[in-house]
């Protein structure tokens, strides 16, 4: 667990960030209002030696054979970098003959936890997004780092386990003001919290397109905490930098939202070095397709002129890396 000295340090940091968060909230209104605070990443502030690795886990999920392959890639790459448990959630109805070899590969790098299908009517990958909320139900662990598996791991990320354990933390969807992204979450599981969220999933208006992040964004922060657990009752956002960036960021010219956000107000001249420090990239080039849909990645290159030329190269390198991992772990 975290030492007192380090806790104090973090509390201090959080106080600074909460003032900033409240100040920024005054200027703009958001769905989540002033109930969200930005948490600083633990990095070297806390000691990694204090973590009991048997009590923590990385979690991801797969609900189609494409995502099963992504889960194989992500968990196999994670396995090289961490002693933590690695869990893949899959819906039981995914288990047919088509996926046997992927499932065998997946079981080499992670513990596969089968869950009941969330919604029989689910038709596209978004409909399955509630599966990730099951992370809250994995109470055999004290702390979980949840990751969508359509991501590329660039650096070790065990430092995320050093963030304060009484906070439920969500990636800051940095292109918005203070909205959360559920593609990276740092959570403390709780049956109480899971049951509360699951009730909301079951009772949602199915005629509206409601996804996991809508539930997580709109829920009162107190719903994310166990009443038996004294501590924070706020939602915390994890700064995008240096934790996670969308690949689509490399197709933007000035990186304003990334650079000018409150957690990384750095000049554009720092961008190449910031880019090198990023731990994870999430494949998200909307409206362009995900990398496994590309037959030829060169069909959709970002425009290379002036400043964005090196971004262009990096974007290609991420996709090439993905394709080489895909060939290695999921040969067709």
Ligand X SMILES: *[C@@H]1O[C@H](CO)[C@@H](O)[C@H](O)[C@H]1NC(C)=O
> What residues make contact with ligand X under the rule CB under 6 A?
115-116, 137, 198, 266, 270, 273-274, 277
Choice between 179 and 243, CB closer to ligand X: 243
Nearest to 236 by CA among 178, 159, 176: 178
For the residues of 15-81, what is the DSSP string, one character each? HHHHHHHHHHHHHS--SSGGGEEEPPP-GGGS-GGG--GGGEEEEEEESSHHHHHHHHHHHHHHHTT
Q: Which is nearer to ligand X, 273 or 295 (CB)?
A: 273
Q: Which is nearer to ligand X, 272 or 289 (CB)?
A: 272
Write down the least CB distance from residue 20 to ligand X, Å: 18
Using CA atoms, how far residue 131 sits from 135, 177, 290, in Å, is 8, 26, 20
Distance in Å, CB of 116 to ligand X, minimum? 6
Contact status, residue 40 vs residue 15, Cβ threshold 8 Å: no
Question: What's the min distance (Å) between Cβ of 272 and ligand X?
Answer: 9
A 10 A CB-CB count for 138 gives 19
Smallest gap from Cβ 207 to ligand X, in A, equals 23
For residue 115, what are the β-bridge partners? 91
- How far apart CA 278 and CA 274 sit, in angstroms, is 7
Residue (117 or 284) nearer to ligand X, CB: 117
Q: How far is the CB of 273 from ligand X (least distance, A)?
A: 4
CA 258 – CA 279 distance, rounded (Å)? 15
Question: Is residue 84 within 8 Å of 53, Cβ to Cβ?
Answer: yes
Question: Is residue 244 within 8 Å of residue 278, measured between CB atoms?
Answer: yes
Q: How far is the CB of 45 from ligand X (least distance, A)?
A: 13
User: Whose Cβ is closer to ligand X: residue 52's or residue 270's?
Assistant: 270
Q: DSSP assignment of 247-297, as one string? A: GGGGGSSS-HHHHHSTT----GGGHHHHHHH--EEE---TTSPPTTT-S-G
Residue closer to ligand X (CB basis): 258 or 322: 258
**Strand 85-91 with 151-153, pairing:** unpaired
> Which residue number, 175 or 198, has a Cβ lying nearer to ligand X?
198
* Least Å from the CB of residue 286 to ligand X: 27
3-state SS, 281-293, equals: EECCCCCCCCCCC
CA 149 to chain centre: 9
Least separation in angstroms between residue 208's CB and ligand X is 22
């Amino acid at each position: 667990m975290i030492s007192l000295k380090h806790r104090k340090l973090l509390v201090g940091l959080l106080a600074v960030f909460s003032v900033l968060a409240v100040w920024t909230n005054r200027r703009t209104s958001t769905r989540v209002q002033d109930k969200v605070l930005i948490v600083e990443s633990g990095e070297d502030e806390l000691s990694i030696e204090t973590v009991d690795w048997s009590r923590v886990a990385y979690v991801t999920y797969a609900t189609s054979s494409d995502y099963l392959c992504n889960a194989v890639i992500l968990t196999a790459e994670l396995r090289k970098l961490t002693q933590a448990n690695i869990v893949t959630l899959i819906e039981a109805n995914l288990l047919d003959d088509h996926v046997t070899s992927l499932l065998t590969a997946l079981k080499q790098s992670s513990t596969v936890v089968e869950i009941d299908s969330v919604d029989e009517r689910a038709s596209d990958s978004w409909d399955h997004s509630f599966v990730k909320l099951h992370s809250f139900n994995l109470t055999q662990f004290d702390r979980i780092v949840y990751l969508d598996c359509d991501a590329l791991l660039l650096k070790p990320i065990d430092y995320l386990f050093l963030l304060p354990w009484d906070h439920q933390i969500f990636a800051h969807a940095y292109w918005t003001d203070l909205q959360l992204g559920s593609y990276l979450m740092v959570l403390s599981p709780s049956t109480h919290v899971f049951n509360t969220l699951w009730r909301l999933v079951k009772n949602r208006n199915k005629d509206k397109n409601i996804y996991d992040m809508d539930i997580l964004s709109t829920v009162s922060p107190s719903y994310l905490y166990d009443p038996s657990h004294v501590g924070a009752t706020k939602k915390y956002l994890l700064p995008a930098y240096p934790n996670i960036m969308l690949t689509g960021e490399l197709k933007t010219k000035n990186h304003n939202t990334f650079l000018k956000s409150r957690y990384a107000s750095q000049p554009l001249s720092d961008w190449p070095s910031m880019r090198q420090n990023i731990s994870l990239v999430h494949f998200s080039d909307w409206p362009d397709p995900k990398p496994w849909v590309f037959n030829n990645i060169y069909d959709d290159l970002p425009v290379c002129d002036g400043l964005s030329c090196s971004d262009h190269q990096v974007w290609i390198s991420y996709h090439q890396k993905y394709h080489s991992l895909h060939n290695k772990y999921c040969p067709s």
